[in-house]
């Protein structure tokens, strides 16, 4: 198992934030880590282009108020993700 895989697998069952280089951000419970991507459950796909709140502000609000899901399950392709973190690790002020 690679270090990357073991690090990501430590997030299994936790609510995560997956950021992209574009306007889309994903939040949800990490179910599975695969070579081609990630399965999220109780997930929220958010496109900043459709709202007035920055991605960072939206993530902070999700940490404070909980994730409002709009997908039961969601597959996120690995090549679209630039960062992954546990929602618990987000510093919301």
Residue 71: pLDDT band (50, 70, 90) is very high
CATH label of the domain that carries residue 71: 2.30.30.100
In a domain, 93, yes or no: no
How many distinct structural domains can be found in the chain?
1
In a domain, 91, yes or no: no
Domain that residue 45 falls in: 3-86
> Is 0.95 surpassed by the pTM of this model?
no
CA angle at 19 for the pair 75 and 40, rounded to the nearest 5°: 25
In a domain, 67, yes or no: yes
Residue 1: pLDDT band (50, 70, 90) is very low
Residues 21, 23: Cα–Cα separation, whole Å: 7
Residues 28, 48: Cα–Cα separation, whole Å: 17
């Amino acid at each position: 198992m690679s270090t990357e895989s073991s690090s990501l697998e430590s997030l299994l069952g936790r609510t995560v934030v997956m950021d992209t280089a574009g306007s889309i951000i994903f939040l949800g419970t990490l179910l599975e880590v695969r070579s081609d991507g990630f399965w999220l459950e109780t997930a929220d796909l958010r496109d900043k282009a459709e709202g007035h709140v920055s991605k960072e502000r939206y993530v902070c609000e999700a940490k404070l108020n909980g994730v409002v899901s709009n997908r039961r399950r969601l597959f996120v392709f690995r090549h679209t993700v630039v960062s992954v973190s546990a929602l618990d690790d987000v510093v919301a002020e």
